[in-house]
Amino acid sequence: MPHVAYVNGRYLPHAHAMVHIEDRGYQFSDGVYEYIAFYNRRLLDAELHFLRFNRSLREIEIASPVAPAALPIIIRELIARNGRDNGGLYIQVTRGVARRDHPFPKHTKSSLVMTVCAAKLPKEHEVKNGVKVITAPDLRWARRDIKSISLLANILAKQQASKHQAREAWLIEDNGTVGEGAASNAYIVSNGEVITHPTGHEILGGITRDVLLKLAKKAGIPVAERPFSAMEMKKATEAFLTSTSANVLPVVKIDDMTVGGGKPGPVTHKLQELYSAHVLRQTGKIL
Ligand X SMILES: Cc1ncc(COP(=O)(O)O)c(C=O)c1O
Residues that bind ligand X (CB under 6 A): 35, 180, 183-185, 204, 206-209, 242-244
Q: How far is CA 91 from the centre of its chain?
A: 12
Residue spans of beta strands (DSSP E) within 138-269: 168-172, 177-181, 185-190, 193-196, 223-225, 228-229, 238-243, 247-254, 257-258
Distance CA 223, CA 112 (A): 38
Q: Give the shortest CB-109-to-ligand X separation in angstroms.
A: 27
Query: How would you list the strands of the sheet with 42-43, edge to edge?
Result: 10-13, 4-7, 111-118, 87-94, 31-39, 42-43
Q: Between 115 and 185, whose beta carbon lies closer to ligand X?
A: 185
Q: Is 235 a catalytic residue?
A: no
Q: Give the shortest CB-78-to-ligand X separation in angstroms.
A: 20
Q: Between 96 and 250, whose beta carbon lies closer to ligand X?
A: 250
Q: Between 150 and 237, whose beta carbon lies closer to ligand X?
A: 150
Among 132, 147, 158, 253, which one carries the catalytic annotation?
Answer: 147
Q: Between 4 and 37, whose beta carbon lies closer to ligand X?
A: 37
Q: Give the shortest CB-247-to-ligand X separation in angstroms.
A: 9
Instruction: Tell me the residue type at 89.
Output: L
- What does each C-alpha distance from 113 to 82, 91, 100, 108 come to in angstroms? 15, 6, 20, 16
Report the 10 Å Cβ neighbour count for 145. Answer: 17
Please name the residues in contact with 9: beta carbons below 8 A apart, sequence gap of 6 or more.
none
Specify the 3-state DSSP secondary structure of 155. helix
Q: Between 4 and 187, whose beta carbon lies closer to ligand X?
A: 187
Q: Give the shortest CB-173-to-ligand X separation in angstroms.
A: 13
Q: Between 12 and 149, whose beta carbon lies closer to ligand X?
A: 149
Query: Sign of the C-alpha dihedral, residues 198, 29, 87, 113?
Result: positive
Phi and psi torsions of 25, nearest 5°: -65, -45
Q: Give the shortest CB-281-to-ligand X separation in angstroms.
A: 18
Q: Give the shortest CB-62-to-ligand X separation in angstroms.
A: 19
Q: Please check whether residue 159 is in contact with residue 187, taking contact to mean a CB–CB distance below 8 angstroms.
A: no
Question: First vs last Cα of the chain: how many Å apart?
Answer: 23
Catalytic positions are: 147
